[in-house]
Structure 1
Amino acid sequence: MHKSETELMLKGYGLTTAEFFYRMPDHLNVLNTFIWQDYDLAPDHPRLFSFIEFWQEEIEGPLHSVRFTHRKMISPGEWRNVVGEFTLH
């Protein structure tokens, strides 16, 4: 079952953005980049490391380096259910 982004954030997931530097298969002296984003759990980052393993097994371009950042967008203590809204003039 696919969970919504809000459900993931309430469970502690944050947005992880990774920049992959890889060598072109036919031109090993040329570096290219690929940007990847997904909701992941810090500090272990299981989805990021799973994607890195997939890359190493399935993609022909060998990885040069990976740099990433993680931003926890919301936590359970910061979210509250709003039942009504009042507009004051």
Structure 2
Amino acid sequence: MFGFNTIQKLGAALVVAFLLSGGAYVWGRLDGKALTDAAVERALAEARQSTENAINELADEADKARVRRRLCIDGGGVWSFANNKCLKAEAES
């Protein structure tokens, strides 16, 4: 009787170990997916922020260029789009 009881306990322990290892595998897969999803969200947020920063930088440069052009024209100059410089208007005779 003692031997049969030990074999039953050993079989039950093996079944429990199998179920626990399967559960640990599933838990690890779920946790890995959550970590992957979090990493993707973080990368997308960084990409959005860097895109927004680049757009803002270009908009600032465009605003500065419009101000320089306006100041040139108001000062009597002619704006050269070829080299982005203010040229003095030559007096017509």
TM-score range, shorter chain: under 0.3
Structure with more contact order per residue of length (Cα contacts < 8 Å, sep ≥ 6): 1
Which protein has the larger Cα radius of gyration, Structure 1 or Structure 2? 2
TM-score by length of 2: 0.21
Between Structure 1 and Structure 2, which shows a larger proportion of helix residues? 2
TM-score (norm 1): 0.21
Higher strand share: 1
